[in-house]
Amino acid sequence: MTDQPDPIIHQPVRLKIMSALKALPERDLLEFVRLKALSGATEGNLGAHISSLEQAGYIEVQKDFHHNRPRTRAKLTRAGRRAFEDYVAFLREIIGEA
C-alpha cells in the first residue's frame, strides 16, 4: 500500500467516472451520455478526463454506430479495476476501516 493516492484517480470527475464504471459487470460498457449525467461533467471536460484515464490504461473506449448514430462507450480495464480497488483500500485505511 502506497502512502499517496493514485493521482490519475484522485480527481473528482475521474473518480466519478471510475466509480460508475466499477458499478457495472466486467464486460458491460457505459455510454458517454450516461457517464456525463453520472459525473455531472460538461461534454468537453468529460472527454478530457476520459482521455486521461484511457492513456493511463484504466479504461477502454469503444466507438461505433448504434441506430445510425455515433456512440461512444467506455469500460474499466483489468488494470483500472485493480487501481480503483487499491484507491478505495487506500481511503479505507485512512479512515481506519482497513
Partner 1 sequence: MSLTQAEAQIALNDIEKTENRAAASQYHRVSAPYLIMWGVIWVIGYTVTAAIQEISIVWMPLIVVGIVGSILLARREQGARTAEFGWRYGASFAVIGIFNTALVAVMSPLDYNQMSALLPLAVGVYYAFVGIWTKAWRMMPLGLALIGLTTLGYFVMPEYFRYWMAAVGGGGLIVGGLWMRNAGS
Task: Identify residue 91 by its one-letter amino acid code.
Answer: L
Q: Residue 75: CB partners within 8 Å, gap ≥ 6?
A: 21, 24, 26, 27, 28, 29, 30, 59, 60, 62
The arrangement of strands across the sheet holding 30-31 comes to 30-31, 69-76, 59-66
Which of 42, 43, 57, 92 binds partner 1 (CB under 8 A)? It is 92
2 binds partner 1 (CB under 8 A): no
96 binds partner 1 (CB under 8 A): yes
Neighbours of 5 (CB within 10 A): 15
Nearer to partner 1, 54 or 91 (CB): 91
89 binds partner 1 (CB under 8 A): no
Which of 30, 50, 53, 59 binds partner 1 (CB under 8 A)? It is 30
Which spans of this chain sit near partner 1 (rule: CB under 8 A)? 3-5, 7, 10, 12, 15-16, 19-31, 33-34, 37-39, 88, 91-92, 94-96
